[in-house]
Amino acid sequence: FYGNTGTPADLAGVPALELGPIAAIPFVGDVLGRQNAIVWVTFGLVIVLQLFLFRTVPGLRLRAVGEHPRAADTLGIAVRETRYWAVLASGTLAAIGGAYLSLSVAHSFTDGMTGGRGFIGLAAMIFGRWTPVGAFIASLIFGYGTALSVSLQGASIGDVRVPVQLLSTLPYVLTILAVAGFVGRSRPPAADGLPYEAEGHA
């Protein structure tokens, strides 16, 4: 795409959307007044996916495949095809997250640039009780921890400077504490991660 090999150092970023009325509101304007299109697409996807999973027939079928694929198969639901489409959709959503990181935050791409954020995403899903809205709220909480670790860099306690390495662990420590308190109460789909063989094909 760029006519040479290697890693592009300066990718064109996604432009921010200036929302005049919202930008004028104290605090809210600082948070939402100048966000790029990917952020607003994410807000919309959370609502659409929540409604899809819990208010539509295809969403009910998808959840049935995740909970009890044998029963879903008995009812005539194509279990394998449904799982394929679900994996494809999850990969697309993960790609949107990667695009945001490359095009809106770093404006470049390097190997390992996620820095373990994928595990935080997994924790957000568990903390959010496996729902789009819950995962979104959990992501905001974990994102606050990341922002706090950045803003506290250079802080000191008395005459002792807080090490940057210690502050950088803050979002991960917050993630561990949150998940530790919710693992037992957050139940994943019963058939999550389990292979399925239709009767007569085993």
Residue 183 has a pLDDT of 62
Concatenating the DSSP letter of every residue in 148-193 gives: HHHHTTT-EETTEEPPHHHHHTHHHHHHHHHHHHHTTT-PPPTTTT
**pTM of this prediction exceeds 0.85:** no
190 — pLDDT class (breaks 50, 70, 90): confident
84 — pLDDT class (breaks 50, 70, 90): very high
Average pLDDT over residues 152-160: 71
Phi (first) and psi of residue 35, to 5 degrees: -110, 150
24 — pLDDT class (breaks 50, 70, 90): confident
178 — pLDDT class (breaks 50, 70, 90): confident
Q: Rg of the Cα trace of the chain? A: 21
Q: Average per-residue pLDDT in the chain?
A: 81
Residue 196 has a pLDDT of 86
Of residues 123 and 71, the one with the higher pLDDT is: 71
Q: Is the per-residue pLDDT at 118 higher than 60?
A: yes
Average pLDDT over residues 11-18: 69
Q: Is the per-residue pLDDT at 51 higher than 60?
A: yes
Average pLDDT over residues 100-126: 77
